[in-house]
Structure 1
């Protein structure tokens, strides 16, 4: 089933207005969610709307909470979100970083006591749209079993990096686990089994049933999702483990937040937002041209047999966005039904 972009965006906006958010804030929340669907990241799009509503109804997400400046310099800030809606606190944090970068060359903002904020790439892209280099990371509840460890201690801990170029920015947004918890939940929702080598049970053996993996994570029974690279050292799983540690350091450690292994996912998420004005290294247009030159040289390289194009990070997502804006956004049957039911419950047209 495909749904037009405008219809999906409007539905999300009106839904969050029903829960007490003003029109401006509702637009921001909807924009983050629908952008994920435009990029083809279904696990972080409108399929998550019921999870946010559940947190709102439990009063975990505080509708009227505002960010508080804990510490600030010309180049940096530490903000406390006080369990505000993650998308709103995160957008404010990146806008603060952007403002500092425009004034002083670099802006570095740490955010603690936040909530799930959607796709990390959305915030890195906010900086890129201002011709700045953008970085965003977030920790999450423990789902990753580190190399040689039999229990989940680190989150999916995604890292997003955006750099302006020619046609599209370079936009990398990736979890440090082979898949995210959201993707495991999506497989459960659609009745699919996981790929072997993605997840392990409490004994460290392969487990492909998403319901078992989610139960083990929820009840802290052991096992979990493997780091990028997979199990052990042979396929370099320690690299994904290391990237997750870098994210944890840049979020909870520097921001004074809660470590992944102690998170409840109830207003205790730590995030970071960095913006860099690369104009301090030379002419900005020339740097962007060099970035495009690098991408173009990769495009022109010899292709693997049967392949027509070598992609760089973000290209597929921007191509999907163009197609989905024109022809509608794919929404799986289960999510479509959930949104229909939600619309009837709230009196929001679907």
Structure 2
């Protein structure tokens, strides 16, 4: 199905109002879910809405709760998410990290006891639009085996880096798994195989079958042992800096919640050489663009470029939505 941005946003806004969110929060969440879908990331946009509602109904997400500051150390702050909606908490903490960066040159907010932020790139883009460089990451429930292990003991811990750029922001948004679980589920909904192995099946063999990977939730770390190690380090940092839960503690819960996140922002204008900064970024992008692709008619992209192209196409043609997902949302809205 192809649906307009306006129609998606309206249906989601009405849905969140039905579940007793304030007008402001309903508008924010409807916008974030829609924007992610518009950028071609349905896996962390519209496809996540039914699960989000399920977590509300189970009391995992506290509708009226939101993040609050619990400690301040100059340009560094600790916040508690109070199990509020991840989108609301992440937006608030990103804004605060930007404020701290513009005051001190660099700012950091470490957040604990929050919920899934959906698409991490949303907040990288938010920081870049405020003319800040950002480094953001979160831990998760265990959904990857540490390299060489059979059981999932580490998370695929999404990692985001954004850089403001006049010709289009650079936004890296990646999980520590070869494919995020949202993306794996996206392939499952389309009844397609992954283009590369994405995890292990029940017989401990690497597989590109999304159903087999999802049955055990044993994703393949990006870079094999390197991704495994990086996942562990990000979990350590998020836990240490926020004073919150580690992936180990999150594993004791039936549903992924009360996770830990870090928001770091740098205000590049403190260097007073904006022209040079833009020139250097373009130099790097031009150098990597100007290479012969291995596949004919292929193209090299910088992080965030594909999303910008997907947005332009979807604004023109309408946004493709999985019909079963859309029908679930319409049913929830009634």
TM-score, structure 2 normalization = 0.93
Residue of 212, 235, 246 corresponding to 1:248: 235
Indicate the RMSD between aligned Cα atoms, in angstroms: 1.9
SS in 2 for 1:298: helix
Q: Is the 8 A contact 2:189 2:322 kept in 1?
A: no
Confirm whether residue 225 of structure 1 aligns to residue 215 of structure 2: no
Range moving further from structure 2, 111-120 or 253-262: 253-262
Q: Distance in 2 between matches of 1:216 and 1:308?
A: 35
Q: Which residue of 2 aligns with 1:72?
A: 72
Q: Distance in 2 between matches of 1:324 and 1:277?
A: 32
Give the superposition deviation at 1:211: 4.1
Q: Distance in 2 between matches of 1:301 and 1:225?
A: 32
Q: Which residue of 1 aligns with 2:288?
A: 298
Give the superposition deviation at 1:326: 2.2
* 1:33-182 pair list within 5 angstroms: 33-182=33-182
The unaligned stretches of length 5 or more in structure 2 are none
Count of aligned pairs = 331
Confirm whether residue 336 of structure 1 aligns to residue 330 of structure 2: no
Q: Distance in 1 between matches of 2:319 and 2:230?
A: 32
Confirm whether residue 262 of structure 1 aligns to residue 256 of structure 2: no
Runs of 4+ in 1 over 4 A off after TM superposition: 193-196
Q: Is the 8 A contact 1:200 1:226 kept in 2?
A: yes
Deviation sequence 1:238-284 (CA, Å, 0-9, x none):
12112212321231232112122331344311111111012233412
Give the superposition deviation at 1:207: 4.4
CA gap 1:19/1:337 in 2 versus in 1, 3 angstroms: same
CA gap 1:299/1:210 in 2 versus in 1, 3 angstroms: closer
The unaligned stretches of length 5 or more in structure 1 are 218-223, 230-236, 346-350
Give the superposition deviation at 1:212: 4.4
TM-score, structure 1 normalization = 0.88
SS in 2 for 1:225: coil
Range moving further from structure 2, 58-67 or 186-195: 186-195
Q: Is the 8 A contact 2:199 2:213 kept in 1?
A: yes
Give the superposition deviation at 1:187: 3.5
